[in-house]
Amino acid sequence: MNTPFRFKLQLAPFFPYLHSILTPSFPRCLWRGNLSQPEIALTFDDGPHPEYTLELLKVLDQFQITASFFWLGQWVEQYPEIAQAVYQRGHWIGLHGYQHQSFPFLSEIELKQSLEKTQTAIFKACHLEPELILDVRPPNGFFLPQTLELLTAWGYRPVMWSVVPEDWLHPGVNVVTQRVIKQTQNGSIIVLHDGYFGGKDVAKTVQEIIPKLLEQNYRFVTISKFWQSAKPMI
C-alpha cells in the first residue's frame, strides 16, 4: 500500500484564518459556495475504501444526503464495486490524483498522467466519461500558481475547502464534530476522509454532524451546485 505524506501537526485552529488569506489570493479555486444561501457541501477524500466507504454510504442513505467524493485512482482500480456503489447513488465524483502525492512534487507529465489514469479507472468502474470528471482537489491541499495554471489549461476545475477538522489525525468523533459545527456557515465546503487515513471514524462522525446541521436549516448540495453560482475563473 502506498504510504502518502500527511500533515502531522495540529493545525485545525489555524485553517479558518488560512482560508481567509488564500481565498482571495487564488480565485481560480472553488473555496466555498454562495454565502447568501444556507447550502453546504459535504466532501470526502482518499476513497474508495472497502469498509469505511460502505459504512459512510449507509449514513448518507439514512439521511438522503448527496455528497461529493474525491477519489484516488489506485483505490478505484482495486475496489471498483465500491466506486460503483457510490456513483450509482448519485454522489458527485472528483479527482484526488492516482496516488496521494502532492501535485507540486510531480512533473507536468506525471501530474497529467496521474489525473488521466484516475479518470480512466473511474470510467472502467462507473462508466462515467472522463470529460465529465473535471473537479480536482490537490492532496494535502498543496498547490502552486503553476499547478493551477496547468489544471485550468487542461480543463480541470480546482476544488478546495473551507472547513477542515483534521479527521486524519484521529482527534475523536466529538472533536471533529465540534470543529465542523463551529466553523460551518453558508457556502461551507466541509472536507472529511473515507480512506485509510481518517476513514475509521467517518461514518460515526457524519452520523453526528448531519442531524446537527439539518437542525440549523442547512441544505446539503454537491460541488456541482456550487460551481453553478461561482464567479468565472480568472
Catalytic residue among 45, 46, 135, 201: 45
Q: Which of 49, 91, 96, 193 does the annotation list as catalytic? A: 193
Q: What are phi and psi of 175, to 5 degrees?
A: -65, -45
Give pairs for 127-131: CB < 8 Å, separation 24+: 128/87, 128/93
Residues with Cβ within 8 Å of residue 228, at least 6 apart in sequence:
none
User: Among all chains, which residue has been given the C-alpha cell 436549516?
Assistant: 217
In the residue annotation, 193 being an active-site residue is answered as yes
Q: Cell 472553488: give the residue.
A: 30
- Asked whether 195 and 49 are in contact (CB, 8 A), the reply is yes
| 45: annotated active-site residue | yes
Q: Name the phi and psi angles at 94, rounded to 5.
A: -130, 180
How far is residue 198 from each of residues 20, 79, 167, 192, measured CA to CA in Å?
25, 18, 5, 8
Strand ranges inside the chain, DSSP E: 39-45, 68-71, 92-95, 135-136, 157-158, 189-193, 219-221
What Å distances lie between residue 234 and 27, 73, 134, 228, CA to CA?
7, 29, 17, 16
Q: Any idea which residues carry the catalytic annotation?
A: 45, 193
